Amino acid sequence: MNILAELRARVATALVEVAGAEQGVAELAAMVLPSQDAKFGEYQANCAMPLGKRLGKPPREVAAALVEKLNVADLCETPEIAGPGFINLRLKDAFVTAKLQAALPDVDRIGIAPVAAPRTYVVDYSSPNVAKPMHVGHIRSTVIGDALCSVLKFVGHRTISDNHIGDWGTQFGMIIYGWKHFGDEAAFKKTPVPELTRLYRLVNSLVEYHAVRDEALPAAATKVGEQESRVSQLELAPTPADPAEQKKHAKRISQAQGQLADLRREYKELEAKITEFEADTKQKALANAHPTIGQAVLAETAALHAGDATNRALWERFLPPCLAEIEETYKRLGVTFDYALGESFYEGDLAGVVADLKAKGLAKPSDGAMCVFLPGQEAPFLVQKKDGAFLYATTDLATIAYRMREWKPDAMLYVVDHRQSFHFDSLFATARLWGIENVEFQHISFGTVLGDDGKPFKTRSGSSVGLSGLLDEAVERALAIVSANDDARPEPMLSIDERQIVAERVGIGAIKYADLAHNRTSDYKFSYDKMLAMTGNTAAYMQYSYARVSSIFGKGGVDPNQLRASGARISVDHPAERALGVAILQFSEALDRVVGDYRPNYLTDYLYELAGKYSSFFENCPVLKAENDDLRTSRLLLCDLTSRTLARGLDLLGIEVVERM
Ligand code: ARG
């Protein structure tokens, strides 16, 4: 049961009576919140102040009227009014214990009933572009998407996870070009993915070199030249006599000079890139031997799309090892998908999509390309290029149509980097114009993972290990920490094998938890030290908390299953017991908050708080040495509920626990 939601519903009923209208009631009821300090009650309603203002009555008077109408006797003690008109709601002991008691036998769901009206969600996440190195952003998408799917499912919804793999894009043009000119058959046979990665990197660097040398650099030079003449014109112009005009004139000159300095800097930066590249004479010679590589790569991609037999055969040869490689990463992360319909799956639908958009008058020719012009949107949504090629956008439209047809979802969630928000805004707007209705579209965007330098995080450059190297390093470091902690014990308790298992869970858990615990819309700095810390809101701390709670049963020689079945009662007389008990009951609130905002960090926040409540319970309330048997049993039952809630919460986040560490 979501207690907060229940209280809001009750307050809403009272509000309608007091305000005499339904209007605005939902916003006012939303002002019932968990309170900061449970001393006066676990929840607080702050709606009497704005309602008083609206009704022109003193807020305390309004609060009194609300309390009179409020029917919460089954849940709360008599509400108290404090300060200017806060209504404090304190849960009844009997309510808390009854709810905890009811959660006891419900081993898996801990008393949380599935939603009454399940919805169907398609969740599009991970979706890397294969054949080029997967980056940390794809881990973040994978981890957030997987957690959201698990929570949605647990809450009672139907989910369909779909990995929209980029298996049809320009990167294949690069690899095909690379293969034809620089491919190494023996290397591919031995280690296919590193060979493809080498080709991708090589071709990509040559394409970039030419783009800078042949286009960006001359363009920058032109800009510098234009600005230089603007500055000298201004400098040569006669100085105005009027002092005020004189000032303005001087300002204009200095502004223009500032702009010139910026443009010169941009030019220098590009020039430095070229110099650096050319310093490697072999590389330079190679680039000169492939002067039109940019167009050639596009042509290879176009040929693949047009059904060219050679390119098709190469694609069919290259794709399987790429898929096997990402599958390894998923295995390591413990992530699976219901579907992995890559971009190539929609290949046959694309022409039809554009034709239909055209027939409906939505797509119009512009400069030889086909565009959808969206009201209020500056740039059009490009669905077919001048050369006839279809785009990422076209595939995404075909994908939406397919999903609607096959799965009839109520919502489609796209867990993708915030840099694609313009794409998704345009995509959703186009889909609506195209007639796709009765489905919620959400771009679950997330921020960038940054390195220590504050720039987008890069895996150790030059190495082809990429992501798996990142995971390996986390596990290695976790092993060092776990071993050091264990060695520091008077009697170490973990075998070498056990340490390895714990390290794998702690290391992978650390990376996942860091991705989840940060508010997804903000950027965050990737730091092994921070994510592997044993204190603070980290996976290691949460896993340790779980192990600590669970260890009590072993120490006391108690079987939690027997205890639960014994019909023993839970009491919450001590404030720390009560706080822990209430926190356990609030699991449902945390899950609903995750679903409401598609933000897994609400769940990590909750679990961290629960662990904190457990710590103070543990310090204040002896469990195995409780004063009497009843109290001992009650406290053990609280431990049992805590450990199950922690384990379930972490499981929904995709984080494995260990019994000891
Ligand atoms: N492949 C894309 C990338 O790596 C992400 C795809 C996201 N999903 C989608 N339906 N557009 O940037």
Query: For residues 159 and 336, is the Cβ–Cβ distance under 8 A?
Result: no
- Check residue 464 and give its pLDDT: 40
Ligand 1 pocket mutation, candidates 397, 416, 441, criterion most atoms within 8 A of CB: 416
Homologous superfamily (CATH) of 3-91 is: Arginyl tRNA synthetase N-terminal domain (3.30.1360.70)
Dist. CA 156–CA 118, nearest whole Å: 6
CB atoms under 10 Å from CB of 82, counted, come to: 14
Dist. CA 598–CA 443, nearest whole Å: 10
Query: For residues 290 and 206, is the Cβ–Cβ distance under 8 A?
Result: yes
Give me the residue spans of the domains in the chain.
3-91, 120-171+308-450, 172-305, 466-652
Cα of 372 to ligand 1 centre, how many Å? 20
Cα of 206 to ligand 1 centre, how many Å? 25
**Which tokens is 320 given?**
């399987």
Mean pLDDT of the chain: 94
- Which residue is associated with the tokens 């007639």? 435
CB atoms under 10 Å from CB of 236, counted, come to: 7
Residue with the smallest CA separation from ligand 1 atom 9 is: 164
Cα of 133 to ligand 1 centre, how many Å? 14
Dist. CA 632–CA 4, nearest whole Å: 30
How many CA atoms lie less than 13 Å away from 83 in the CB half-sphere? 10
Cα of 164 to ligand 1 centre, how many Å? 6
Cα of 161 to ligand 1 centre, how many Å? 14
- Check residue 459 and give its pLDDT: 65
What's the Rg (C-alpha) of the chain?
A: 31
Ligand 1 pocket mutation, candidates 420, 425, 428, 444, criterion most atoms within 8 A of CB: 420
CB atoms under 10 Å from CB of 255, counted, come to: 12
Alpha-carbon distances of 416 from 126, 162, 482, rounded to whole Å: 8, 13, 34
Cα of 82 to ligand 1 centre, how many Å? 52
Q: Identity (one letter) of the amino acid at 375?
A: P
Ligand 1 pocket mutation, candidates 135, 139, 164, criterion most atoms within 8 A of CB: 164
Residue with the smallest CA separation from ligand 1 atom 11 is: 396
Cα of 379 to ligand 1 centre, how many Å? 20
Cα of 127 to ligand 1 centre, how many Å? 5
Pick the CATH number of 466-652 from 1.10.10.10, 3.30.830.10, 3.30.1280.10, 1.10.730.10: 1.10.730.10
pLDDT < 70: residue spans in the chain: 459-466
Residue with the smallest CA separation from ligand 1 atom 3 is: 128
Instruction: Give the CATH fold of the 120-171+308-450 domain.
Output: Rossmann fold (3.40.50)
In ligand 1, the atom with minimum distance to the C-alpha of 137 is 4
In ligand 1, the atom with minimum distance to the C-alpha of 417 is 12
Structure confidence by residue, pLDDT tens digits, 429-483: 999 999 999 999 999 999 998 988 888 887 654 444 467 888 999 999 999 999 9
Cα of 194 to ligand 1 centre, how many Å? 23
Cα of 340 to ligand 1 centre, how many Å? 12
Cα of 616 to ligand 1 centre, how many Å? 45
C-alpha angle 393-197-336 in degrees, rounded to nearest 5: 60
Dist. CA 414–CA 403, nearest whole Å: 13
Dist. CA 344–CA 508, nearest whole Å: 31
Residue with the smallest CA separation from ligand 1 atom 4 is: 128
For residue 513, which of 445, 443, 603, 611 has the smallest C-alpha distance?
A: 603
Using CB distances shorter than 6 Å, the residues near ligand 1 are 124, 127-129, 164, 166, 396, 399, 414, 416
DSSP 569-619: PP---SHHHHHHHHHHHTHHHHHHHHHHHT-THHHHHHHHHHHHHHHHHHH
Instruction: Say whether 544 sits in a helix, a strand or coil.
Output: helix
pTM comes to 0.91
Ligand 1 pocket mutation, candidates 122, 123, 125, 127, criterion most atoms within 8 A of CB: 127
- Check residue 136 and give its pLDDT: 83
Structure confidence by residue, pLDDT tens digits, 608-635: 999 999 999 999 999 999 999 999 999 9
- Could you tell me the strand order of the sheet in which 32-34 lies? 32-34, 43-45, 86-89, 80-82
For residue 383, which of 351, 425, 414, 408 has the smallest C-alpha distance?
A: 351
**Which tokens is 82 given?**
């404090």
In ligand 1, the atom with minimum distance to the C-alpha of 420 is 12
Residue with the smallest CA separation from ligand 1 atom 7 is: 127
In ligand 1, the atom with minimum distance to the C-alpha of 128 is 4
The neighbouring-strand residues paired with 417 are 446
User: What does the chain come to in residues?
Assistant: 661
DSSP 452-520: TTSSBP--STT-S-HHHHHHHHHHHHHHHHHHHHHHTSSS----HHHHHHHHHHHHHHHHHHHHHHS-T
